[in-house]
């Protein structure tokens, strides 16, 4: 599949076969095993805690925590760090799947969505009978945290076609990161090429604090980029000079996938994170005149293109 274009004959997409994964949880440091499996048309995406027998729908209204990662929960059961696998599923146009996991955290793997992209490529993706739909943005929606030039904000805008575009800027005091901006139209091809390999990152000064809180126990230079002022501490350096903003945009794709259907619109944000991404979905669904469901989904023939950055409306 090459891009996102609506079609009246669109069918829903799932995995051709189940595929397994295993790795270490970034925060728990525990060994985690699971599978991504096909699901019936119309089932959507869900996480199954196989150790508890609890199914957790992958929806914005089941987000129970957004500190450091996105956490889904129901009936006391939860799964954290879901954003990378959600981004891979959304970036590849998967409508229906079950992510099975035997613990309370998805494995961090190499800190990016590239391992999940590899799993999906190995499993294959197939179309099945069923009506696919997207969420068409009809008018701007905005959420903001803070005031002045340092405010964090996120917006959704209408676009002139059935696709999802995204633009994000970040600004960090660490000079290894600084201010970065990236914009693109999200298609399977450029998700794979431009976003999937971007790794999560942290500042060296934060690591001791996180570990004192019982977090980041599984973090290493093999699964996160660590910066210290102007220095990148990873021996291999960065995968791209703007890997930091690409990873933050990867998180946006994963967090907004919790809308439950692909968004046909343009995301624009500054300094946004998991909490603000989730607030944006809540604001969208609360404004019934700002969006509508449209039939149709991704089929071959769409455009893969990096977009020029533009000022927010």
The catalytic residues are: 274
Q: What is the CA radius of gyration of the chain?
A: 18
The DSSP line for the chain is -------TT--EEEESS-EEEEEEBTTT--EEEEEEEE--TT--EEEEETTTTEEEE--GGGEEE-SSS-EEEETTEEEE--HHHHHHHHHTT---EEEEESSSB-B-TTSSSHHHHHHHHHH-EEEESS--EEEEE-S-EEEEESSGGG-EEEEEE--SSSSEEEEEEEE-SSTTT-EEEEEEE--HHHIIIIITTPPPEEEHHHHHHHHHTT--TT--TTTSEEEETTEE-STT--SSTTHHHHHHHHHHHHHHGGGSS-EEEEEEEES--HHHHHHHHHHHHH-GGGEEEEE----TT----BPPP----
Q: Which pair of structure tokens corresponds to residue 228?
A: 């210290």
Q: Who's near 64: CB < 8 A, 6+ residues apart?
A: 71, 72, 73, 78
């Amino acid at each position: 599949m090459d891009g996102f274009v609506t079609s009246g004959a669109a069918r829903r997409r799932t995995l051709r076969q189940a595929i397994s994964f295993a790795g270490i949880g970034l925060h728990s440091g525990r060994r985690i095993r699971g599978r991504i499996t096909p699901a019936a048309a119309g089932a959507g995406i869900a996480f199954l805690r196989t150790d508890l027998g609890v199914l957790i729908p992958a929806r914005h209204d089941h987000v129970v925590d957004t500190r450091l990662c996105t956490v889904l929960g129901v009936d006391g059961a939860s799964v954290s760090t879901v954003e990378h696998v959600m981004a891979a599923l959304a970036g590849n146009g998967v409508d229906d799947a079950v992510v099975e996991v035997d613990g309370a955290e998805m494995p961090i793997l190499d800190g990016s969505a590239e391992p999940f992209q590899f799993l999906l490529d190995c499993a294959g993706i197939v179309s099945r009978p069923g009506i696919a739909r997207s969420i068409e943005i009809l008018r701007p929606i905005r959420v903001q945290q803070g005031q002045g030039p340092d405010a964090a904000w996120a917006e959704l805008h209408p676009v002139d076609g059935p696709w999802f575009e995204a633009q994000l800027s970040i600004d960090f005091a660490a000079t290894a990161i600084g201010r970065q901006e990236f914009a693109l139209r999200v298609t399977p091809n450029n998700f794979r090429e431009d976003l999937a390999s971007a790794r999560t990152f942290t500042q060296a000064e934060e690591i001791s604090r996180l570990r004192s809180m019982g977090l980041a126990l599984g973090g290493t230079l093999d699964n996160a980029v660590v910066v210290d002022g102007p220095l990148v501490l990873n021996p291999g350096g960065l995968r791209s000079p703007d890997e930091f903003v690409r990873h933050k945009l990867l998180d946006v794709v994963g967090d907004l996938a919790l809308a439950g259907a692909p968004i046909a619109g343009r995301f624009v944000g500054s300094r946004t994170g998991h909490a603000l991404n989730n607030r944006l979905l809540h604001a969208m669904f609360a404004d019934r005149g700002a969006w509508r469901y449209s039939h149709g989904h991704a089929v071959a023939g769409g455009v893969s293109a990096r977009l020029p950055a533009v000022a927010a409306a």
